[in-house]
A and B are shown apart, each in its own frame.
Chain A
Amino acid sequence: DAKTTQPNSMESNEEEPVHLPCNHSTISGTDYIHWYRQLPSQGPEYVIHGLTSNVNNRMASLAIAEDRKSSTLILHRATLRDAAVYYCIPSGPGNEKLTFGTGTRLTIIP
């Protein structure tokens, strides 16, 4: 499994954009980059995933570096409900397992 490095914690003001970085320098060529988040006392939920191109969905955007060694999850307008631990997880096709690292604890300041 590719190793990931994420900041332990980040803070952001409500209604401001948030950029959550992740380094995955040992990612393989076929690994997708998945982002999940876990709200307090809940199971994780899927946020977004991508391979090479930047991706957008209703929850967030994912910007993937050209060399794929890093990616950034972008929350365009943070709300209090976005306070969670965000996990960046490289995982390849045919490998269903997700290996959770320590993630980034995002705090939203009202």
Chain B
Amino acid sequence: GAVVSQHPSRVICKSGTSVKIECRSLDFQATTMFWYRQFPKKSLMLMATSNEGSKATYEQGVEKDKFLINHASLTLSTLTVTSAHPEDSSFYICSASGQGRWNEQFFGPGTRLTVL
């Protein structure tokens, strides 16, 4: 299957700083990428959907100015958590689709963000 990577896998930052998480499709062109957030013992919650070259579509309740998403190429999307606070600590997971088949999503391994 297709491979999606995320970097970094784990990040610890101070409150008030910004953190950028990269999501790359390694062996296919991802026309659409998705960003999810997962709190401990909870399910994945979709944050936003991004298509290459266009603005991301955010789910209700997700602040677009706080969670900046850029999908500048068919293999790279970035999520920037701006002015991070402890409540933003979570497991962030990206996925990508675009293999030309049905809407199968290929997920990255996730990034664990801890805000002190």
Which A residues have a C-beta under 8 Å from some C-beta of B?
A: 32, 34, 36, 38, 41-46, 49, 87, 91, 93, 95-103
- Chain A residues closer than 8 Å to B32, beta-carbon distance: 96
Interface residues of B in 66-111 (CB under 8 A from A): 91, 93-95, 97, 102-110
Please state if B34 and A97 are interface contacts (CB–CB under 8 Å). yes
Give the complex CA separation of A34 and B95 in angstroms. Answer: 15
Interface residues of B in 26-68 (CB under 8 A from A): 32, 34, 36, 43-46, 49
Interface residues on B, range: 20 to 34
Give the complex CA separation of A91 and B104 in angstroms. Answer: 10
Which B residues have a C-beta under 8 Å from some C-beta of A?
A: 1, 4, 6, 32, 34, 36, 43-46, 49, 91, 93-95, 97, 102-110, 112
Give the complex CA separation of A96 and B43 in angstroms. Answer: 18
CB nearest neighbor in A for B31: A96
Q: Which of A32, A34, A49, A101 contacts B43 (CB 8 A)?
A: A101
- Chain B residues closer than 8 Å to A32, beta-carbon distance: 102
Seed contacts A46-B105, A46-B106; 8 additional CB < 8 Å A-B pairs: A34-B104, A42-B109, A43-B93, A44-B95, A49-B102, A96-B103, A98-B103, A101-B43
Q: Which of B1, B46, B91, B110 contacts A98 (CB 8 A)?
A: B46
- Chain A residues closer than 8 Å to B4, beta-carbon distance: 43
Please state if B105 and A98 are interface contacts (CB–CB under 8 Å). yes
